[in-house]
Structure 1
Amino acid sequence: MTDTQQRAAAKAFAKNWKDRGYEKGDSQIFWVELLTTVFGVTEISQFISFEDQVHLDHTSFIDGYIEKTHVMIEQKSINKSLTAAIRQSDGSMLTPFEQAKRYSSELPYSKRPRWIVTSNFQSFYIYDMEKPGGDPEIIRLEDLEKEYYRLQFLVDEGNTNLQREMEVSIAAGEIVGLLYDALAKQYVDPTTERAMKSLNILCVRIVFCLYAEDAGIFGQHGMFHDYLEEFDTKHMRKAVIELFQVLDTKPEDRDPYMEESLAQFPYVNGGLFANEDIEIPQFTDEIRNLLLEKASADFDWSEISPTIFGAVFESTLNPETRRSGGMHYTSIENIHKVIDPLFLDELKNELKEIQQITVQRTKDKKLRDFQTKLANLQWLDPASGSGNFLTETYISIRRLENEVIKELQRGQITFGFDESSPIHVSIDQFYGIEINDFAVTVAKTALWIAESQMMKETEDIVHMNLDFLPLTTNAFIVEGNSLQIDWESIVPKYQVSYIMGNPPFHGFTFMTAEQKQDMQNIFPGVKNLDFVCAWYKKASDYIRGTKIEVAFVSTNSIVQGETVSRFWDFMQDDIINFAYRTFVWDSEASVKAHVHCVIIGFAKFSRSTKYLYDNGRTTVAENINRYLMNGDDILVRSRNKPLCDIPKMIYGNKPADGGNLIIEDEDLEDFLMKDPKAKKYVHPLLGASEYIKGNRRWCLWLVGADPEELKKCPMIMERIRKCKEVRENSVAAGIRKFADTPTLFAQRTQPVDKDFIIVPRVSSQARRYVPMGFIKAGTIVTDRVQVIPDASLYDFGIIISNIHMAWMRVTCMRLKSDYSYSKDIVYNNFPWPLPTEQQRQKIEKTAQGILDARALYLNSSLATLYDELTMPPELRKAHQQNDMAVMQAYGFTKGSEAYKSEAACVAELMKRYQKLCEEQK
C-alpha cells in the first residue's frame, strides 16, 4: 500500500469506529479491521491471536497477542480510562498496563512482549518494554490518518531469510578462522608483514573460489572441490598456485596443452588473482580436510549475506579483533536505520507510485526513467571498513531495479530492452575510503559476491543467462586515511548523491598520537571531542554548495553535555533532516558490544518533512535540534555559576588516598576495637552508590585534628603513612603534591557544619527521578556526588520534579545509558520558575510529601523505592503532586503542549534558557 492509500484507509477506519466500542463484543473486530485494512495483513488468523490463556492464581485471558512482532494488547471499552487502576478478580488494583505486565511475567521468556498496547477504542497507549519507566506514546483515533505510521511496529516482522543469511555468514566466518589458523602455522614466520598480507590474500582467494563453485559462477557445482580432490596433500600447494594463475589468465593467453581440469575454469579479472608474488605455504592433511570437507562438501557458500560476511570475514582475519575475542559485524537491520531514511524509503515510495499508474505506456516510460535515475546515483562511505554499508546499499538498489525489470518484463521470455543487458545499476557507483588495506580487499570481494547474487535474481526474472565473469566492474574503494585525504580526489562532489557510514568511535583519551593530530588539524585548539566528529566536519565541508545528504552512526556523546556546543559550533550551517535518538548498537556476532549510538542525517538544505526515530516510535518534527529533539536550535553551554538566583551546587570531596582514609563497613568494628580513640574521627561517607543503594561506608575526617591525638591512634597513623606512600608514587603530578597532607582528602569542598541536598552524579536511566535528598551535617561525601548547601524544601521540590528531570535527560552526558548529572551543564543552566508565594508554599508542601512518603519505608533503599516496578503508591503519588505543583509554577496549564509532552516541555525550557542568556549579556 502507498502512503496515500494507507492514509485513506486510516481515515475510513477512524470514522467507522468513532464513538463506539465495547470490550467484550467489539475488540476482535476492531483489531482485525485495523490490521487488515490499514496495515495490509492478509492471513489475519495466523497473525494475531485472541483470548490466549494465562495462568495466575486463576485463569485469565490476554485480549490480543501478535507473536511475530511481540505485541500484547489489553483492550478496554470506550470511555474507560487507560491510566486509572481497576479492581481485579483477586482484589488488587491495576491499571490496564499493569494488568498486561502481570500477564507478560507469566509467559515464557521467548514470548514476552516487546510492546504493550492498551486501548479504549479512542486511544492507543504504546509502552516500549525496552524502555522501562518511560511515558507511553499516545495515538488518538481521531489522529490516525496523520499518525498511522506510528503503529507500524504492529506488523514489522523480523525477516526469517535475513536471520538464515546471518547464521550462515557467521558460520562461514568460523570456517575461515579455522583455515586461517591452520595456514598460519605453516608459514616460516607468520608475523612478518609479507606473510600476514599473503595469508590474508590467500584466504580471500580461497573464499571467492568456495563461493564461486557453490553459486555456479565457475560453471558447474563443485568444480573447486573436485579439482583439489585430485591432489594429495603433498601436491596441493602447487595445484592451488596453478589454479590462481589460470584464474588470472584470459583463455586466449593460456597454454593450449594445460590439463582439462584447469582449462575449464573461467577468467576472473578484477585483480583478485593478479598478484602472483604472494607467499603460499605447504598444505597439511588438516588444511586439505578443511578445504574438501568442512569448507566445501559440508557447506553451501551461496547462502551467505555478503553484507554480513564481508565484515565477519575481515574481522576473522584481523589480528586485533581476533585478540578481542569476537567477530564484528554491523547488523543489516542497523544499516537500514541509516540508508532507509537517507534515500531508500523515498526511492521505494517513488517506485510504488509508478506501479500504481494504469496507462501502460506512461508506466513503462516512468519505470525506465526510474531505472536510469538509480543508475546515476552515487554513494560514498568515507570509513568503509569491509564495505557493509556499500554492499547492503548495492543489494537494496539492485532489488529495486529488479522490480523495475520485472514490471517491464511482464512475465515474457524476451524483454523489451535495447541494451545487451537489462541491468544498469553497477558497483562502479560505489566509493569508499578505508585505512586498512585488507579491509579494502574484503570490501571489493563482498561487492563482487553481491553483484553475483543480484545477477542471479535478475536471471530468474528475465529467464536467460547473464555473464558474470570476467569481472568488468569495480568498486572504487581506496586505501588511505580519510581524515588526511581530499575526498574530491576520490570522487568529485558534484557526482555524489549520498554519504553514509559508521566512522570509528574513539574518545579523546583512547586516540593514538596520529589520530589526535588529525583531530587538531580539523578542530584547531579543541580537545575532548569524539573521533567520529572529524568525519562530520569533513563531510560538512565536502557537501557545501551541493544537494548531497549525509547520514552517520555516532556515539551519543555528540548530542550530550558540553560536547554539543563544542562540536556543533563547527556545523552551524548544517540542517538535521532525520535522526535516531540513543539506541544500543550491537556490532558483534559472538561477543555483543553494547555501544550507545545515534544516527544523524544532515545536509545544507532542509527537507520538507523531518523525522525523529526513538525506540520504535516515529515523530514528524518541525525542526530537529542538536539534542535530537523537536525544537529550536539552541545550544546549552557550560557555565560555572547558576543562570538563576539559586543556591550554588558544588562537587563532593575527592579522597585520592588509595582507599586508606576510607573504612569499609565490614572493617569498622575491628578497626575501632583495635583503636577506640579513633572513633571521634570516623564519619559516615556517601558516594552515589552508597546513597542510592543504602550501603554503609566510613571515612577518617581529620580536618583540624590535633597531631598529638593522632599519634595515639595507631590504626589511623598506619593509614596516614599508606596514604602518603600512595600519593608519592602516583603517576599524576597533581596527586603527588597532596603527599604533603596525607591526613586530608585531596580536595575538600563540602562545609561539614551544614545540612545539604545530595545529588548523585550517575544514576540509572531506568529511574524516572534521580534520587536526591537532604543529608544532615557531619556526613562526608565523595566526588561521586554533588551537594547543595543552604538548600530549602522549595529548592528540593524544583530539582526533584519531572520538569527538571526532563531537562536533565536532554542536556546531561551519559555513561553508557546512565545519566551523568553535571552541575555546569544541567544545574547551572536550568531555567527556574518565578512562582507566586502561594505556588512556592505549595511546592514546599509537595516536596515534604515526597520525604514523608520515603520515611514510610525506612528499610527500603532509594534504589528499591525508585524502581518503576516496586515504587510505593504513596511515593509515586507524592511525586505526581509535586510535578503538578512545579508545572503550575511554570505556567504550564493542563491543556498546554508543555504539560502533555516532555519534549514540548524541554523545548519551552530551552526558550526560557535562551531568553535568560540574552538578558545577562
Structure 2
Amino acid sequence: MTPEQFIARWKDNKLSERAGAQAHFDDLCELLEVDKPRDPDNYCFERGAKKAGGGDGWADVWKRGHFGWENKKPGRDLEKALKQLTDYALQLENPPLLVVCDRERIVIHTAFTGYPDEPREIRIEQLVTPEARQLLRWVFTEPEKLRPEKSTAAITAAAAGQFAGLAKAMRQRGEDGQRVAHFLVQCLFCMFAEDESLLPAGIFTDLLKNAGQDAEKARRRIAKLFQAMQQKNGEYGDADIPWFNGGLFKSIDIPPLEPSDLAGLHAAAADMDWRAIDPTIFGTLFERGLDPAARAPLGAHYTDTGTIEKLIRPLISEPLLAEWAAVKAEIAAKPKKAKAAYQTFLLRLNHFRVLDPACGSGNFLYLALKALRDVEKRAHVEAQELGLPAELSMQTGPHNILGLEINEFAAELARVTVWIGDIQWCRRNGYAHATNPILKPLDGIVHQDALMNADGSEAEWPQCDVIVGNPPFLGTKKQWSELGRDYTDRLRQLYDGRVPGFADLVLYWFEKARAQIEAGRLTVAGLVATNSIRGGANRKVLDRIVASTRIFEAWGDEEWVNEGAAVRVSLVCFGNSDQPAQLDGVAVAKINADLTSGSALSKATKLAENTNCAFVATVKAGPFDIPGDVARDWLKIPNPNGRPNSDAVRPWSNGMDVTRRSSDKWIIDFGVDMSEADAMLYEVPFAHVLEQVRPMREKSNRAAYKTRWWRLAEPIPKMRTALIGLNRFIATPVVAKHRLFVWMDSRVLADHQLIAIARSDDLTFGILHSRFHELWSLRLCTWLGVGNDPRYTPTTTFETFPFPAGMTPRDTAPRTGQGTPPCLAGEVAAERIAAAARCLNERREAWLNPPEWVDWVITPEEEKAGFPKRPVAKPGHEADLKKRTLTNLYNARPAWLDLAHRELDAAVAAAYGWTDYTPEMAEEEILRRLLALNLERAAAAA
C-alpha cells in the first residue's frame, strides 16, 4: 500500500471506532511493511479482551516489549486513551511505548523507566515522508531508537548544576546563602509550573527575556509574579494567575540581581523541559547545590529508587495491596456491600500516614506518597473491572506524609519535592492535580530536631502508620565534633539505658521508632543504618527491638551513598506485622537481632577462660612513627643517660603491614610510665616528639593526652604485661577482607589497627585460623559502614568463642617458670592442630618471601637490641615482591593454601569431637554447635 492510498482511504473516514480500528491498523502495517498482529501471546489485537465489569480490554493492540496501542475515532480525546494505557501498563508488562491514535493522528509516548515522556505526533498527511514512516516503523521493530537522549536523572543533575552556579555566584557577592537558596527554589518551581502549563505559557521565561539587562526591573517583576501566585485570583499583567499558596511563596525576599543572574535564569527556563525533573533525586541534588551548609559535592551519587523501594515495598505497597486483595474478594462475594467495602478501603488510604523523622530533602517522602498513589490507582482500575463506577478524584495526596528535618532549607526542599512529584504523578496517570490552591499546605513537614527539644526533653513524634527513612550516620568518635560536646552529652544522658553511649547516631531513630511501636503510636518502621548495627554496642538497640516486637524484613549488607561517599548499610523493617520474614530477599523462619536467620549468636556470652588474652593494641594520637632508616640511624646515637635509643624506638606494625607488606615503620615509645625528665635523656627521639607531637596534643580535649604528651595516647599496659616472656605473639588486623592471623615478634609494637593475642603456641594459632573461628568472628564482629569489611573485636569475637575443651586460652597460658608450651603435651588432637598450623604458616611464609627473591638483613645495632631481621628484595625482584601480600594470596586462594586450611579445619573439628565433619558442613550447623558449647560453658561457670 502506498502512502497516497492509505491517506485516501483513512482521511475523513466515517467508519465507527470499533469498525475502523483493526482495519486501519492492518493497513498501517501494510504501509510500513511490518507484520500484522496475529500472535495471541506476543503481538495481538484486544489484549486483555473484555474485563469482568464489561468494559474494554487493556489495549486495542499490544506487542510484547514494544508498545500498547489504543485507537479512537477521529476527533476523540486522546488523553483519555492514554490514561487507559497507563492504567493497564502493569498488565501490559510495562511496554516502553504507549501509542494513541484517532486514525488521522498517531501520538507516540515514551515510557522507558527513568526517562521522560517525549511525545511525537504524526499526522496522516505526514505519512508521505520517509522520515515519518521510518519513525513509525521503529515503533514496531526497534523501540529503543525512540528512547529519549537524556534520562530524568541526567536532566535533573544538569539543572542542579546550573542552579548551583547561580547560587555560588550570588553568595560570592556577599548575599546571604539561605536568602539566595529560597529565591532560587521559588524560581525553579516557576519554571516547572510554566512547562507543566500551571502558569500561562512562557510567562516566567518572557519576564526574564523582556527585562534585558535591567536587573532591578526583573527583580520587581519577579516579586509581582510571586505575589500573584501567593494570592487567590492573582493577576500579572493581562494574565490570570492560579492560586498556588502552600507556603512556598509566603516569604518573598528577592536578593539583588545582576545581568549575569538574569542570563543564567533565562537559559535555565528557556533551554530545559522542567517537566522531566526527577523528584526521587531532585531534592538531594538541589540541596547540595543551593545550600551553603550542604557538605556533599554537587554531582555526588544518590541512592537509586530500587534500593529505597526495598523499604517502601514491605512497609507500604505489599501490606496495603494485601488489604485490597481481601476487599476485592469481599466485593466479589457480596455484591450488595461492594460499594461500602470499596469506600471503606479508600477511606483507609485517606487516613494512612507515613512519617520520615529525618526527611532531608524529601526523596523517601515522595516515594512513600507515590506508593500510596499507585495502590489507590490500582484499586480504582480493578474496582471498575468488578463493575463499580469510576472514581474521578483520589483520596491519597500530600496530606498522607509527615516529616521532621533539622535543616530548615532541606525541609523546604522536601515540600517542593513532594509538590512537584505529586503534580507529575497526577499528570502522567491521568488524574486531576490539586487546585485552589495548587500547592496544598504541607504543614506535616516540620523543621525540628527529631531527637531532643531545646529544653533538653525528648522530642515527640506524631502518631502514624509507618515510619520510613534514612537517618544520619555519625559514629561515636565524630559526634562531639559534629554535634558539639554539650549537645552530645545531653543526648546520651537523655537516652541513657535505651541507646548505648557509644552507638552510632542513627540508632537513636531506631530506638524512638521501637518506643512508638511499644506505645501503640506506630505500626511498623523501616530505617537505614550503617551495617555495623549488626554487632557490638550498636546491636543492643536491635536486641531491644527483637525483645519488644519483631524484624520482618531486612537487608544485612547493601551498597548506599551517604553525603557523596559509598558506604555499606543494613535496611531493617520491624514492628507489628504478620508478613512472613524475609532476609536479603529470601524467606526465612525468623530474623535475629544480628540480622541473621539461623542460630541467634547474639545470645553468646563472654567466657572466663578467654579473658586477658586478646587486646586492641596501642593508640598513637600523634606522629610518633618514623621511617625505618631514620630509626636505624638513631640507634647509633649515644644518650646522656648511657642508655641506647633502642629503649625508646622499636619496630612498629599496623593492619596494612599485615594485609600488604611491611612499611618498615618504627615508633617512638616511652612506655607506660616513663616521666618527662627520663624521656628527655633520649635526646633525638624526645626532640622529635617535642616538635611534632606536643603541638597536636595540646589541642586535645583529653586532659591525659595533654599532660602526658610524650607518651603514646593509649600504651595498653595490660597487653604489655601479658606479652612478657613471649618471643612472639599472634596478631590479626582489626579490619580486613580476610580474617588473617600472623606471628609477630614480641619486640614489634602493634598499632590499634591490630588485635594482639598474647599466646605463642601453634595450637592457639591453628584454632583461630580455622573455619570455625572465622565463621564465628564474621557473625559476631561489628562492620565498617564504609566498604564491606568486618571489624574483629576482642570482646564480641574472641572472648565469646568456645575453644575445644582443654585447649582454651586459659589452658595455653604461659606456665610460671616454664614459658608457653608449644602445645598441650600428650594430646594427640592438640599436636595434630599444631602441626597443621605450622605447615600453613611455613608455606605462607615461603610464598610471601621466597629465598630466591629475598635477603634477610639486620644492622649490628638492631641485632644487639634483639630486633628481628627484615626481608629486603634482591635486585631485580622489587616489583615481584610487592605483589606478594596476604590479601593477594587469599584473593587467589591457590590449591595448596586451600588444602592447608582443610587439613587444619579437620584437625580442629576432631578436637571438638565432630566425627561427622566434612568441608561441606553447613555454616549454620557449625554455628549452632558452637553457640550450644558457648552457652553450656557459660552456664557451668555461673
Do the two structures share a fold, i.e. TM-score over 0.5? yes
Q: 1:224 aligns with which of 204, 220, 228?
A: 204
Judge conservation of contact 2:733–2:755 (CA < 8 Å) in 1: yes
Could you give the per-residue CA deviations for residues 732-770 of structure 1, whole angstroms, max 9, x where no partner exists?
43245546889x9785446354233322242422x2xx2
Could you give the per-residue CA deviations for residues 677-729 of structure 1, whole angstroms, max 9, x where no partner exists?
9597675443333233231344578889999xx99x99x53213433666665
Judge conservation of contact 1:561–1:812 (CA < 8 Å) in 2: yes
Could you give the per-residue CA deviations for residues 96-146 of structure 1, whole angstroms, max 9, x where no partner exists?
xxxxxxxxxxxxxxxxxxxxxxxxxxxxxxxxxxxxxxxxxxxxxxxxxxx
Judge conservation of contact 1:794–1:840 (CA < 8 Å) in 2: yes
Aligned to 2:429: 458
Q: 1:884 aligns with which of 906, 912, 934?
A: 906
Judge conservation of contact 2:635–2:646 (CA < 8 Å) in 1: no
Judge conservation of contact 1:692–1:862 (CA < 8 Å) in 2: no
Q: Does 1:518 align with 2:488?
A: no
Q: Structure 1 CA distance, aligned partners of 2:530 and 2:220?
A: 49
Q: Which amino acid aligns with 1:332?
A: T
Aligned to 1:664: 627
Q: Which amino acid aligns with 2:614?
A: M
Q: Does 1:299 align with 2:272?
A: yes
Q: Structure 1 CA distance, aligned partners of 2:345 and 2:628?
A: 72
Q: Structure 2 CA distance, aligned partners of 1:851 and 1:267?
A: 77
Q: 1:290 aligns with which of 253, 261, 264?
A: 264
Alpha-carbon shift at residue 911 of structure 1 (Å): 3.8
Q: Does 1:556 align with 2:531?
A: yes
TM-score (norm 1): 0.69
Structure 1 residues 833 and 219, CA gap change in structure 2 (3 angstroms): farther
Q: Which runs of 5+ in 2 are unaligned?
A: 1-62, 67-146, 808-826, 851-880
Q: 1:447 aligns with which of 402, 418, 424?
A: 418
Alpha-carbon shift at residue 245 of structure 1 (Å): 1.3
Alpha-carbon shift at residue 382 of structure 1 (Å): 1.1
Could you give the per-residue CA deviations for residues 569-628 of structure 1, whole angstroms, max 9, x where no partner exists?
58731321111112231135xxx312222111111x463521111xxxx33222212211
**Larger C-alpha radius of gyration, 1 or 2?**
2
Alpha-carbon shift at residue 284 of structure 1 (Å): 2.3
1:678-689 alignment runs, 5 A limit = 684-689=651-656
Judge conservation of contact 2:288–2:298 (CA < 8 Å) in 1: no
Aligned to 1:757: 729
Q: Which amino acid aligns with 1:541?
A: A
Q: Report the secondary structure of 2:892's partner residue.
A: coil
Judge conservation of contact 2:686–2:710 (CA < 8 Å) in 1: no
Structure 1 residues 596 and 828, CA gap change in structure 2 (3 angstroms): same
Judge conservation of contact 2:473–2:505 (CA < 8 Å) in 1: yes
Q: 1:626 aligns with which of 569, 593, 602?
A: 593
Structure 1 residues 347 and 845, CA gap change in structure 2 (3 angstroms): farther
1:126-275 alignment runs, 5 A limit = 164-184=151-171, 189-191=174-176, 196-220=177-201, 222-234=202-214, 235-251=217-233, 259-260=237-238, 263-275=239-251
Could you give the per-residue CA deviations for residues 415-464 of structure 1, whole angstroms, max 9, x where no partner exists?
923x6x332211111111112222222111111112211111232xx7xx
Structure 1 residues 593 and 267, CA gap change in structure 2 (3 angstroms): same
Alpha-carbon shift at residue 888 of structure 1 (Å): 4.1
Structure 1 residues 452 and 637, CA gap change in structure 2 (3 angstroms): same
Aligned to 1:438: 409
Alpha-carbon shift at residue 675 of structure 1 (Å): 6.8
Q: Does 1:316 align with 2:289?
A: yes
Alpha-carbon shift at residue 183 of structure 1 (Å): 4.0
Q: Report the secondary structure of 1:213's partner residue.
A: helix
Q: Does 1:901 align with 2:922?
A: yes
Q: 2:467 aligns with which of 494, 499, 511?
A: 499
Q: Structure 2 CA distance, aligned partners of 1:538 and 1:322?
A: 26
Aligned to 2:437: 470
Aligned to 2:78: none
Structure 1 residues 684 and 570, CA gap change in structure 2 (3 angstroms): same
Judge conservation of contact 2:617–2:754 (CA < 8 Å) in 1: yes
Structure 1 residues 902 and 757, CA gap change in structure 2 (3 angstroms): farther
Q: Structure 1 CA distance, aligned partners of 2:149 and 2:330?
A: 31
Aligned to 2:940: 919
Q: 1:910 aligns with which of 931, 936, 941?
A: 931
Could you give the per-residue CA deviations for residues 468-488 of structure 1, whole angstroms, max 9, x where no partner exists?
453263331112111136999
Q: Structure 2 CA distance, aligned partners of 1:565 and 1:474?
A: 40
Aligned to 1:806: 775
Q: Report the secondary structure of 1:543's partner residue.
A: helix
Q: Structure 2 CA distance, aligned partners of 1:162 and 1:340?
A: 30
Could you give the per-residue CA deviations for residues 784-820 of structure 1, whole angstroms, max 9, x where no partner exists?
4333334422211111112111111122233433333
Structure 1 residues 551 and 888, CA gap change in structure 2 (3 angstroms): farther
Q: Report the secondary structure of 1:905's partner residue.
A: helix
Judge conservation of contact 1:865–1:871 (CA < 8 Å) in 2: no
Quick one: percent identity of the two aligned structures? 23
Alpha-carbon shift at residue 548 of structure 1 (Å): 0.4
Structure 1 residues 719 and 328, CA gap change in structure 2 (3 angstroms): same
Aligned to 1:846: 836
Q: 1:822 aligns with which of 793, 797, 800?
A: 793
Aligned to 1:789: 758
Alpha-carbon shift at residue 340 of structure 1 (Å): 1.7
Q: Report the secondary structure of 2:558's partner residue.
A: strand
Residue-pair matches, total: 720
Aligned to 2:255: 281
Aligned to 1:124: none
Q: Which moved more, 1:565-574 or 1:795-804?
A: 565-574
Q: Report the secondary structure of 2:440's partner residue.
A: coil
Could you give the per-residue CA deviations for residues 314-341 of structure 1, whole angstroms, max 9, x where no partner exists?
2322212268566574432232122122
Q: Which moved more, 1:399-408 or 1:431-440?
A: 399-408
Q: Structure 1 CA distance, aligned partners of 2:508 and 2:610?
A: 38
Aligned to 1:68: none
Alpha-carbon shift at residue 550 of structure 1 (Å): 0.6
Q: Which amino acid aligns with 1:233?
A: Q
Structure 1 residues 862 and 785, CA gap change in structure 2 (3 angstroms): farther
Q: Structure 2 CA distance, aligned partners of 1:392 and 1:468?
A: 22
Aligned to 2:613: 648
Aligned to 1:401: 376
Alpha-carbon shift at residue 203 of structure 1 (Å): 1.5
Q: Which amino acid aligns with 2:727?
A: D
TM-score (norm 2): 0.68
Q: Which amino acid aligns with 1:584?
A: E
Q: Structure 2 CA distance, aligned partners of 1:869 and 1:626?
A: 30
Q: Which amino acid aligns with 2:168?
A: D
Q: Structure 2 CA distance, aligned partners of 1:737 and 1:175?
A: 52
Q: Report the secondary structure of 1:447's partner residue.
A: helix
Q: Structure 2 CA distance, aligned partners of 1:717 and 1:180?
A: 55
Structure 1 residues 806 and 179, CA gap change in structure 2 (3 angstroms): same
Q: Structure 2 CA distance, aligned partners of 1:381 and 1:425?
A: 17
Q: Which amino acid aligns with 2:279?
A: P
Q: Report the secondary structure of 2:842's partner residue.
A: helix
Q: Structure 2 CA distance, aligned partners of 1:779 and 1:655?
A: 15
Judge conservation of contact 2:153–2:278 (CA < 8 Å) in 1: yes
Judge conservation of contact 1:850–1:875 (CA < 8 Å) in 2: yes
Q: Does 1:719 align with 2:685?
A: yes
Alpha-carbon shift at residue 500 of structure 1 (Å): 0.9
Q: Which amino acid aligns with 1:733?
A: A
Structure 1 residues 226 and 163, CA gap change in structure 2 (3 angstroms): closer
Judge conservation of contact 1:578–1:612 (CA < 8 Å) in 2: yes
Q: Which runs of 5+ in 1 are unaligned?
A: 1-41, 46-159
Structure 1 residues 649 and 600, CA gap change in structure 2 (3 angstroms): same
Q: Does 1:481 align with 2:449?
A: yes
Q: Structure 1 CA distance, aligned partners of 2:764 and 2:407?
A: 55
Q: Structure 1 CA distance, aligned partners of 2:273 and 2:629?
A: 60
1:100-111 alignment runs, 5 A limit = none
Judge conservation of contact 1:813–1:820 (CA < 8 Å) in 2: yes
Aligned to 2:555: 580
Judge conservation of contact 1:724–1:740 (CA < 8 Å) in 2: yes
Q: CA RMSD in A?
A: 4.3
